[in-house]
A and B are shown apart, each in its own frame.
Chain A
Amino acid sequence: MSGAAVLSPETVLAEMKKHGVTHVVYLPDSETNWLYLLMKSEPTLRLIGVGREGNAASIAAGLWLGGARPLILIQNTGMLEAGDSIRGWLMSLNVPVVLMVGYRGWTRHGVTVDTAATYTERFLMAFGLNYYLVENDADAARIGVAFEEAERTRQPVVILVGDEYHGFNR
């Protein structure tokens, strides 16, 4: 990994604040620990930990219905597990939420040995969920694109965080 080509947790947090995120519903994975520590010390954010990613979808729906602006932070494995909840609680209720999804197994070159990565984009395409890949700080503007698109389309939009490049493992 090049030292310059990272997506820093500070950049992600800045995008969250810029777009008015009030609550982060998350299930941690090892790659996002630095981001977790940053979020935890950010007074404008409330963190809501879940034990199953499907719960993140219904919690986010309730938050949005009540006027808050949630963001979901999970891994691709959890997104696959949460399919029905994403369909029912987010898509069918037209909840404009951004899901930031750690792209476990992403290799960039297409030779994928981790089936979590194999099925990630296929899953998103099957569900008709739009998504943007973010690998480093230069891609950070796409996070804003996702927020704006979610709001405009009243649908969830996914940010895939290219694992090997995002720099959360310091």
Chain B
Amino acid sequence: MMHTADMMRVFARYRGDAILVPGRSGRYWIDLSDNHALDVEVGDPAMGGHGGLGLGLALARPDKKVMLFDSEGDLQMSLGILATIAEQAPPNLYHFLIDNGVYATTGGQPVPNADKIAYDVIARGCGYPRAYAFTEIGDFERGLPEIMGGPGPVFVACKVVPEIENEPIGRRRRWQTRTREQVVKDLRAALGVG
């Protein structure tokens, strides 16, 4: 299995000037990013919505690529978003799924059927024209040129090592450097719609 930090490091060279939704992986991305204004680091406003956020951005900004880092707990809560994304078929949306198999922020309880579910198969069944699955960092690195070289929507399921947090939420280290309001303000200004 991969570590999320390694995965993000390997991915970073493909970011370019894309809008990037880090989802629950923001703490791994923040030090790699060279374009914070286009990082939609809003944390977790409500579980299950990162896919929708990425789709909305991709449809509003067809001139820019959107890199979305979703997670499997969120996706299980909103599986239907895959059908909506596939129907809308934004060619600029690259949908990565970081699958650690557990609800890591609540103590590591497994998500339903964590060891047997195949998210890439579900995405393909919902109509994604391209879907991939990786468990090893080397394979992921070798697959990225093909993934990023073609149009979206593309779905990339990545199995990663769970990094479980057991500290009460209020006691966790805050990695964010901007408030949610600032993230929104920076993004809209960078896109010329602020």
- Which residue of chain B is the closest to A60 with respect to CB atoms? B56
By the criterion of a CB under 8 Å from any partner CB, how many residues of chain A are at the interface?
32
The secondary-structure label for the interface of chain B is helix
Give which listed residue, A23, A61, A84, contacts B52 with CB less than 8 A: A61
**B46: chain A residues within 8 A (beta carbon):** 54, 57-58, 84-85, 87-89
Once the chains bind, are A55 and B80 in contact (CB under 8 Å)?
Answer: yes
Q: Of residues 9 to 63 in A, which have CB atoms within 8 Å of B's CB atoms?
A: 22-23, 46, 48-52, 54-63
How distant is A55 from chain B, measured CB to nearest CB, in Å? 5
Once the chains bind, are A51 and B84 in contact (CB under 8 Å)?
Answer: yes
Bound state CA distance, A93 and B45, in angstroms? 8
Give which listed residue, B44, B56, B78, B188, contacts A52 with CB less than 8 A: B78
Once the chains bind, are A62 and B57 in contact (CB under 8 Å)?
Answer: yes
**B83: chain A residues within 8 A (beta carbon):** 51
How distant is A103 from chain B, measured CB to nearest CB, in Å? 24
Task: Tell me if B167 is interfacial: C-beta within 8 Å of chain A.
Answer: no
Task: Tell me if B26 is interfacial: C-beta within 8 Å of chain A.
Answer: no
Contact sample, A vs B, 8 pairs, CB 8 Å cutoff:
A55-B52, A55-B80, A55-B81, A59-B52, A62-B55, A65-B53, A67-B192, A92-B180
- Measured CB to CB, the residues of A under 8 A from B are 22-23, 46, 48-52, 54-68, 70, 84-85, 87-89, 92-94
